[in-house]
Amino acid sequence: MRIHFFDTYNCSVRIYNRRVKIFIASDHAGFELKETLGHYLRMKGREVEDLGPAEFNPEDDYPHTIAPLAKKVAKTKGAMGIAIGGSGQGEAMECNRVKGVRAAVFYGGSHEILKLSRQHNSANVLSLGARFLSPKEAIQAVELWLSTPFSHEERHARRIKELG
């Protein structure tokens, strides 16, 4: 069924820089979407490390998988992370506690926020709200986010540096 999904949906945005390491993790609410996105990205030739959970557990707590994701993104030069939860809010909060991580939340709506999170904020983690996105919407969001580079404009670089 998952293979059929990938064969039937044509997501046209080209992924930027395939050599970037992508860490992915979720809680129970994002587990199915994590599996789908991980599979999709690997099919596209991306290097993906799944940090869990390895199996669905309705009682899990997101800090146990999201904190390691944030730490790995911070330690791995040029790495990106995809955190997935029910709304994506708590996952982003957990990620943003780690120095060097800039997590943006997306749970639908204008895709402009995805581009701005990369162009202006050099977001290195995308936190997705699985309860608000279809698999197709999530794939399109991830591809757009990964394909959008940081602008390197002085004012944006200065602000990121000020974050500490």
Q: What is the pLDDT of residues 99-140, one digit of tens each?
A: 999 999 999 999 999 999 999 999 999 999 999 999 999 999
Q: Hey, what domains does the chain have and what are their CATH numbers? A: 17-162 (3.40.1400.10)
Q: What is the pLDDT of residues 33-78, one digit of tens each?
A: 999 999 999 999 999 999 999 999 999 999 999 999 999 999 999 9
pLDDT at 33: 98
In this structure, what token pair is assigned to residue 120?
């202006």
Is 153 catalytic? The answer is no
Is 39 catalytic? The answer is no
Q: What are phi and psi of 156, to 5 degrees?
A: -75, -40
Q: What is the pLDDT of residues 86-103, one digit of tens each?
A: 999 999 999 999 999 999
Q: Is 122 left (phi over 0), alpha (psi -120 to 50) or beta?
A: left
Q: Among residues 28, 120, 137, 156, which one is catalytic?
A: 120
pLDDT at 19: 84
> E strands along 27-161, which residues?
47-50, 80-85, 103-106, 125-129
Query: 95, 83 in Cβ contact below 8 A?
Result: yes
pLDDT at 3: 29
Predicted structure pTM score: 0.89
pLDDT at 6: 31
Residue 106 CA to residue 91 CA, distance in Å, equals 11
Residue 50: strand pairing partners: 24
Omega of the bond leading into 53 within 30 degrees of 0 (cis): yes
Residue 164 CA to residue 158 CA, distance in Å, equals 10
Residue 2 CA to residue 35 CA, distance in Å, equals 10
